[in-house]
Structure 1
Amino acid sequence: MASGVNNTDVERTEVKPGEADTLLKKNELSFEEAFELTGHGKFNHFVLLTCGLIMLNVSMESVGMSYVITAAECELELTSEHKGLINAAAFIGIIVTSFLWGYLGDRFGRRAVMLPAMLASAVFSVASSFSTNVWTLLILRMLTGCLISASSATVYAYLGEMHISSRRAAAIAWGSAFISFSFIILPGLAWLIIPGKWSWSLFGFRVVPWRAFVWSWCAPGLLAAVALLLLPESPRYLLVSGGPEKALPVLEKMYFWNHGTSAEKFPVEKITTSSDLGQRGGFVGALQNITLLCRPPLLRCVAISHISMFAVFMLSSGLYVWVPDILNSILRNTSEQQISICEIIHNKFEVARNLTLVAIKCESEVSVGVFPISMSMGVIFAITYLAIGVFIDRIGQKTLYSGIMIVCGAATVAAAHSPHGLGAALLVLALCAGCAASILAAIAVDVFPTTLRAMAMCVMYMVGRAGAALGANLLGAALDTRCAAAFAALGLLSAGSTVLMLFWPKPEKVREEMEKKGLSY
C-alpha cells in the first residue's frame, strides 16, 4: 500500500463500472490501484478492436504474397527459389528493423511509433503492386516489412499495458484472434479478385487482378491508424517516461470511457511511485537497460521465449506461405491414385522441367478451389484462437502452448507421408501452430519491465520472423526434391522446442528481482 493513504479508505478491489462513483475521493494511490479503478469496458474493447486490426494488417502484409506468387508466376517469370524469397521478403524486413523499432517504442512510445509506420507501410505495399520484375517486387516487399515491423510486436506491449494483469493474457489471446481473420479475408478477397480475366490501364500501366488484390489488403492498417488517432499512449509507458502526472490524464480518460461519466469524477488525485521506475534517458540509457535482457533473471526468459517463437513461426508462417501453392498443385493433380503431397509436388516439378526443355509457353492458372479451402482453414484458426481466449486461464498458458505445438509438429511430419486428402487436412492442423504465438506472447509479456517490454517483444518477434523466413526458404529450396525431409525438420523442431517450457521461471520471482533493481511493471 502506498504511503499517505488513510486507513479509512474503502477496500481497493476490482471495481465494476458505476461503483467507483460512490467512492470517496482519494488523495494518493499507487498506479496499480488507480488502474484498477478505471474498470473494464468500452475503452478496453476499443483498444482490443484497434490492436486486433493492427495484428490483422501485419498478418495480411506478411503472408498475402502467398496468393500472388501463383497468379504472377508467368508475368514475373518466378521460379520456386524466387517464390521462396518473395514469401520471405516481408519477414526479412521485419527482422532487420525489429531492434530499431523496439528501441523507438521504448524511447518515444508505443502509439507514437505504430501510427506513422502503418501509414507508410500502406504506401510501400501499394507501390509493390506496380512491380514489373521479381527484384523490384522483392525490394518493395522488404521495405513494407521494415515498416510493419513497428507494429508487429509493439502492439502486444500496447495491448498488454492497457489491461490489468489478471485480464492481460486473455486480452492478448482475443486480440490475436484477428490474425486468424486474415486467413479468411485474404483467400476471400483473392477468390473475388484473382480469377478475373480483366485488365485496365492506369497512367499507362496495365493493371491485372493480382495487382489490385495487393491494394485490397491495405484497408485494415488504414482503419487501425484512424482508430489510433482516438486512443492515448499507454499509461504504463507514460508513467515510466514522464511520471505520474503524465499517466493520470490517461487513466481519467479510461475511466470516462468505461463508466460513461466525466473524467473529473475519477476518484484519484495523485499517483504515488515507490521507485525511480528504472527510466534512463537517451540512447546510452536505452542500451544500459537492454543489457538487463542479457543478464539473469531475464536472460533465461529471453532465451526460452525467443527460441520458442522461432520454432512457432518457422512451422506456421514458413509453411503457410506455401500452402496456397501446395493446394493448387493438389487440386490440379490428374492422377487417380491416392499419392502423397510430396509425390504430387515432385511430379509437378518434373513436368515443369520438361516443359522448360521444350520451351512451351508458361501458363499461370490458379484453381478456384484453393480459395474456399483456405477460407475454411481460416475458420478453423479463428475457432482455435477463440478457444484459446476461453481456456488459456483454465488450462494454464504453458500447458496449452506445449500441447498445441506437439500436436501440430506431429501433424507436419505425418502430412508428407499421407494420401493427399488426409495430408491436406494434416497441413491445416499443422498451421494451427501459429495460434501458439499468442500464448507465448502472453507468457513472455508478463516478465519484462515496462522500459524493456517493447524491445523484448520486438526482438522476440524478430527472431520469430527469422524462423518464418528460414522456413519459407527451406521449403522453397527443398519442396521439389526433398519434400519429406523438409516437413520432418519443421515438425520435429517445433514439437521438440516445447521441452524449453520446463525451464521457464516463475514470473513473480522475476518481477521481484527486477523491482529490486528499480524497474517498474
Structure 2
Amino acid sequence: MIAQDKSLADIEKSVEKSKEVRFEDAIELTGHGKFNNFVLLTCGMIMLNVSMESVGMSYVITAAECELGLTSEDKGLITAAAFIGIITTSFLWGYLGDRYGRRAVMLPAMIASAAFSIASSFSSDVWMILVLRILTGCLVSASSATVYAYLGEMHVASKRASAIAWGSAFISFSFIILPGLAWLIIPGKWSWQWGAIRLSPWRVFMWSWCAPGLLASLALLILPESPRYLLAAKGPQAALPVLAAMYAWNEGKTADCFPVEKVASTNMELTKSGFVGAIQNISLLFRPPLLRCVIISHISMFAVFMLSSGLYMWVPDILNNILNSKSEYSITICEIIHNKFQMAHNITLELADNACHNEVSVGVFPISMGMGAVFAITYLAIGIFIDKIGKKTMYCGIMFICGIATIGAAFIPQGGAATALLIVALCSGCAASILAAISVDVFPTCLRAMAMCVMYMVGRAGAAVGSNLLGATLDTHCQLAFTFFGAFTSGSMLLLFFWPKPEKIRAIMEQKGLCY
C-alpha cells in the first residue's frame, strides 16, 4: 500500500510539471471509489441476469410439463435453448462490441432480451417457447462475455482481477435467488385465464428473473463507455472526458478539477474500421503469440462449463431422486438413479392411462439455495484471496479439488455426503471468473470483447455437451460418466502450466501497434 501511494504521488508530481500524461497514469489518477463500486454493482447485475436467463428454465420445465405437453426431449431442448442462442451469436456480438463499444452493444440488447423473455412466458406450446428462449439467448449473449471486458477496462491493472472476481460473485446469487423465487411462486395452486393463455405460477416466475437485467440497463444509461475502448477506437482525447468523469465521481469534485489536460499520444494504431479491418484484427487471435492463449483458455473454459453448468442442469433431478429414494440401505446416487430408471421403465409398460402428473420435492429448493450460498462464499473468497494467492494457483487448486469431488460423489454410498460432494463439484463454475481474469490481461483492447465472447461461446458449448452426455449416460453408465467428468476437469488444469507471461505477450502485440 505504501509503495502504491508513493507511485501515485510520483505520478501527481509528474502531472504538476506537465499536464500531458500517459493513459495508464491518467487512469491511476482517477482513483478508486464510488464510480468503480457502481460499475462493479452494475456489471454484477448483468452477470446475475445472464445466469438467471441461462439456467432459470431448469426450474420451469417440471411445472410447465402438463400445460405445454412437454416430453423429455422437449425439456432438454428448452433448457438448452438459451445456451443455443448464446453460442450461435457470440462471435457476432464480440465483433460488434469491439467495433461499436461495450456499453453501446450491451444496453439495447439487455432491454430487448427482457422483452423476449417476458414474451416467452406467454407461450402456448413447445415450439413457441423454444423459439422465444433461443431469441432471448441470442440477445443475452451480447452481455454474457462483453461485460468482463467492460468491467476489466474500468479498473487499473492492479484491481482488475479482484474486480472481475467480485463481479462474478453475483452469478452465485442466481443460485440462491432462483430456487428461492421458485419455492415462493411455483408451488402455488392458483391460475387465471387471460384470453387464450392461462396465467400460471411458472409464468409469473419467469417474469421475476427479468428484474436484474432491467435494473442494470437503467444503470448503464448513467455510465459512460469504456475509456480503454475509446482510446483504442478513437484516440487519446476521446478517452479524456470519461477519465475526468471517473475522477469526479470518485473524488467528489467537478470534472474540471481532473489534473490532466491531455492524454499523451502513442504510436499505437486505432482499431481498424469496417468488416475487412475487423477480420484482419480477429486473425491475430489465430496466430502466435495469441494462438497459444486462445487454445489454452478455450479448452479450459470448455472444461469449466462442461462440469459446472452441464452437471447443474441435472442436479435438481438428482436431488429429487435422492430425496425420494425408498431404499433402507446406504447406496450410491448412481444406484438410486439406476433403480429409478428401472422403476420408470416398468411403470411405463404397466400404465393404463395417460394422466399427467408433475411433482417436485419441495426439499430440492432449500438444498439448491444452500448450494448457491456455498457458491457465494467461494466467489467472495476468490475476491479476497486472488491477489494474495495468485490467479493461476487458485484456478488450478479449484479445478483439481472439484474434479476429485465429482468422482467421489458417484462412489460414496451415503446421500448426504454425495450431495456435499456434488456441491463442491459445482463450485468449479467459480473458476470461470479466475480464467476470465487471467485471459483478459493478454488480449489487446481491439480484440478483447471478441476473445472473451468466443471463449464463453466455447464454454457454453461445453455446458451443452456436458448436459447431453449426462442425459445419455446417467441411467446406464453413471459412475463412468462421473469419472470421466472428474478426470477431464482435474486434467484440464495442467494446460495453465503452459500459459505465457502476460508481459511478454503485451510487448509483442504493442510492437505490432495494438494497445492495451
How does the TM-score come out when normalised to structure 2?
0.95
* CA distance in structure 1 between the partners assigned to 2:246 and 2:9 by the alignment: 13
| Matched-pair contact (CA < 8 Å) for 1:55–1:179 | yes
1:139-158 aligned within 5 A: 139-158=131-150
Local SS of the residue matching 2:358: coil
1:254 equivalent in alignment to 2:254: no
Q: 2:378 aligns with which of 381, 384, 404?
A: 384
1:362 equivalent in alignment to 2:356: yes
1:433 equivalent in alignment to 2:442: no
Q: 1:418 aligns with which of 412, 433, 443?
A: 412
* CA distance in structure 2 between the partners assigned to 1:207 and 1:362 by the alignment: 19
Q: Which residue of 1 aligns with 2:457?
A: 462
Q: Which residue of 2 aligns with 1:202?
A: 194
* CA distance in structure 1 between the partners assigned to 2:129 and 2:470 by the alignment: 20
| Matched-pair contact (CA < 8 Å) for 1:26–1:269 | no
Task: Compute the RMSD of aligned alpha carbons.
Answer: 1.8
1:484-503 aligned within 5 A: 484-503=479-498
| Matched-pair contact (CA < 8 Å) for 2:235–2:270 | no
- Of 219-228 and 491-500, deviating more is 491-500
Q: Deviations over 1:147-191 (max 9, x none)?
A: 100000000000000000000000000000000000110011001
Cα drift, residue 123 of structure 1: 1.2
Q: 1:306 aligns with which of 298, 303, 306?
A: 298
Cα drift, residue 355 of structure 1: 2.9
Counterpart of 2:230 in structure 1: which amino acid?
L
* CA distance in structure 1 between the partners assigned to 2:215 and 2:492 by the alignment: 37
| Matched-pair contact (CA < 8 Å) for 2:94–2:452 | yes
Counterpart of 1:297 in structure 2: which amino acid?
P
Query: Unaligned stretches of 5+ in structure 1?
Result: 1-10
Q: Deviations over 1:328-370 (max 9, x none)?
A: 2221222222222122222222232333332442311111111
Q: 1:298 to 1:23 in 2, by over 3 A?
A: closer
Cα drift, residue 52 of structure 1: 0.1
- Of 241-250 and 82-91, deviating more is 82-91
- Of 350-359 and 223-232, deviating more is 350-359
1:51-70 aligned within 5 A: 51-70=43-62
Local SS of the residue matching 2:193: strand
How does the TM-score come out when normalised to structure 1?
0.95
Local SS of the residue matching 1:345: helix
* CA distance in structure 2 between the partners assigned to 1:312 and 1:391 by the alignment: 20
* CA distance in structure 1 between the partners assigned to 2:344 and 2:69 by the alignment: 13
| Matched-pair contact (CA < 8 Å) for 1:240–1:451 | yes
Cα drift, residue 14 of structure 1: 2.9
Q: Deviations over 1:18-76 (max 9, x none)?
A: x9799737421111111110000000000000000000000000111111122223333
| Matched-pair contact (CA < 8 Å) for 1:81–1:473 | no
- Of 497-506 and 362-371, deviating more is 362-371
| Matched-pair contact (CA < 8 Å) for 1:12–1:33 | no
Q: How many residues were matched structurally?
A: 509
Q: 2:283 aligns with which of 288, 291, 300?
A: 291
Counterpart of 1:398 in structure 2: which amino acid?
K
Aligned identity (percent) is 72
* CA distance in structure 1 between the partners assigned to 2:18 and 2:314 by the alignment: 58
| Matched-pair contact (CA < 8 Å) for 1:15–1:36 | no
Counterpart of 2:136 in structure 1: which amino acid?
T
* CA distance in structure 2 between the partners assigned to 1:472 and 1:424 by the alignment: 18
Counterpart of 2:359 in structure 1: which amino acid?
E
- Of 223-232 and 411-420, deviating more is 411-420
Local SS of the residue matching 1:13: helix
Q: Which residue of 2 aligns with 1:505?
A: 500
Greater helix proportion: 2
Counterpart of 1:324 in structure 2: which amino acid?
P
Cα drift, residue 507 of structure 1: 0.3
1:516 equivalent in alignment to 2:508: no
* CA distance in structure 2 between the partners assigned to 1:187 and 1:370 by the alignment: 8
Cα drift, residue 104 of structure 1: 0.1
Q: 1:350 to 1:74 in 2, by over 3 A?
A: farther
Counterpart of 1:149 in structure 2: which amino acid?
S
Q: Which residue of 2 aligns with 1:4?
A: none
- Of 78-87 and 119-128, deviating more is 78-87
Q: Which residue of 2 aligns with 1:352?
A: 344
* CA distance in structure 2 between the partners assigned to 1:15 and 1:332 by the alignment: 64
| Matched-pair contact (CA < 8 Å) for 1:26–1:267 | no
| Matched-pair contact (CA < 8 Å) for 1:66–1:325 | no
Counterpart of 2:262 in structure 1: which amino acid?
K
Counterpart of 2:379 in structure 1: which amino acid?
Y
Cα drift, residue 12 of structure 1: 8.0
1:41 equivalent in alignment to 2:33: yes
Local SS of the residue matching 1:518: coil
Q: Which residue of 2 aligns with 1:394?
A: 388
Counterpart of 2:408 in structure 1: which amino acid?
A
Counterpart of 1:211 in structure 2: which amino acid?
R
* CA distance in structure 2 between the partners assigned to 1:352 and 1:75 by the alignment: 21
* CA distance in structure 2 between the partners assigned to 1:202 and 1:29 by the alignment: 63
Q: 1:180 aligns with which of 163, 169, 172?
A: 172
Cα drift, residue 435 of structure 1: 0.3
1:371 equivalent in alignment to 2:365: yes
